[in-house]
Amino acid sequence: MFAYICSRLLSRHEKVLIISISNGWRPDIIVPNNTPKNPRRVIKENPHRINGYITGVNEVRLVGDNIETPGIYKFKDAMALADKLELDLVEISASANPPVCRILDYSKFLYQLKKKEKEQKAKAAKVVVKEIRFGPQTDDHDYNFKLKHAVNFLNEGSKIKAYVFFKGRSILFKEQGEELLLRFANDLEEYGKVEQMPVLEGKRMIIMVSPKKKK
C-alpha cells in the first residue's frame, strides 16, 4: 500500500491536498484549517469568484494589459497561465458569455477597490451645502452682500442652495423671484455652475450652484 499525494492551488494562499490509496484508488480530500471548506462562503465575503472558486465554466475571456494575447481560453489554460504568473484568476463579469476574467494579485486589487470606495465616501461626506435666503424684493445692498458670501463659499468648495422665500401674498411675485435667482447664478458663473435651475417647492423657489473644479 502506498499513498499518492498531489496538491491543487485554489488561491495563492490555499492548497487542497489529495491523498490516493493504492488499493482501489479511493481519494480522500484533506482541507487545511486555513482553507475554507465551503467555497460559497468565500464568494459571499469577496465580490468576485477567484481561481478554483470559479465553477461551472469551460471557457473564459481573458482581458488585461498583462495578457499577451487577450481572448477566449479554456478554463484550465487560464488557470495554468495565472499559476505561471503567480497571480490570481479573477472573474470580473460573471454574466458575460463566456465569463470575463483578469489575471492579477487579488489582494492588491481588493485593497485598491476599498481604497477608492473610502476616498469617494470621504469626498461625499465633505460636501457642505450653504443656504442663502432672499426675499422676492431684495434690494441691491442686501443682494451684493449675499453674493459676496456666496463667492467665498464656492471658493471654499461648498455648494450653494439659494432660495427666495415667498411669505403670504408675496407668492404673486414668483416670476420676480425666479429672475433674481437667475441673476444670482449668472453673477456666480465665474465661480460655480448651476446644478439645479430654479424650482418652486412650497413657499420657496430654489436654485443649486456647485463650485467649479479647480484646474
Statement to judge: residues 178 and 197 lie in one domain: yes
Statement to judge: residues 58 and 97 lie in one domain: yes
Statement to judge: residues 112 and 137 lie in one domain: no
Statement to judge: residues 47 and 120 lie in one domain: yes
pLDDT at residue 187, rounded to an integer: 94
pLDDT at residue 85, rounded to an integer: 92
pLDDT digits (tens, 9 = 90+) for 7-28: 444 445 444 444 444 444 444 4
- Tell whether the model's pLDDT for residue 126 goes beyond 70: yes
- Tell whether the model's pLDDT for residue 4 goes beyond 50: no
Statement to judge: residues 115 and 152 lie in one domain: no
Average pLDDT over every residue of 158-181: 89
Count the neighbouring beta carbons within 10 Å of the beta carbon of residue 1. 5
pLDDT digits (tens, 9 = 90+) for 43-100: 446 788 999 899 999 999 999 888 888 999 999 999 999 999 999 999 999 989 999 9
Statement to judge: residues 54 and 117 lie in one domain: yes
Confidence of residue 128 (pLDDT cuts 50, 70, 90): confident
Q: For residue 171, give the CATH number of its domain.
A: 3.30.110.10
Give the domain range for residue 145: 127-211
pLDDT at residue 45, rounded to an integer: 65
Kindly write down the DSSP assignment for every residue of 145-199, as one continuous string: HHHHHHHHHHHTT-EEEEEEE--GGGGGGHHHHHHHHHHHHHHTTTTEEEEEEEE
Statement to judge: residues 89 and 145 lie in one domain: no
Residue 15 vs residue 199, higher pLDDT: 199
Average pLDDT over every residue of 167-183: 87
pLDDT at residue 127, rounded to an integer: 77
- Tell whether the model's pLDDT for residue 30 goes beyond 50: no
Confidence of residue 33 (pLDDT cuts 50, 70, 90): very low
Average pLDDT over every residue of 182-202: 93
Statement to judge: residues 52 and 31 lie in one domain: no
The overall average pLDDT reported for the chain is 80
Statement to judge: residues 21 and 5 lie in one domain: yes
Q: State the Cα angle at 198 between 195 and 200, rounded to 5°.
A: 130
CA 182, CA 180: separation in Å to the nearest integer?
6
Contact 192, 160 (CB under 8 A): yes
Statement to judge: residues 195 and 160 lie in one domain: yes
Contact 175, 145 (CB under 8 A): no
Residue 36, H or E segment: none
pLDDT at residue 215, rounded to an integer: 62
Say how many domains are in the chain.
Answer: 3
Q: For residue 98, give the CATH number of its domain.
A: 3.10.20.80
Q: At which residue does the C-alpha cell 495563492 appear? A: 12
Percent of the chain with pLDDT over 90: 55
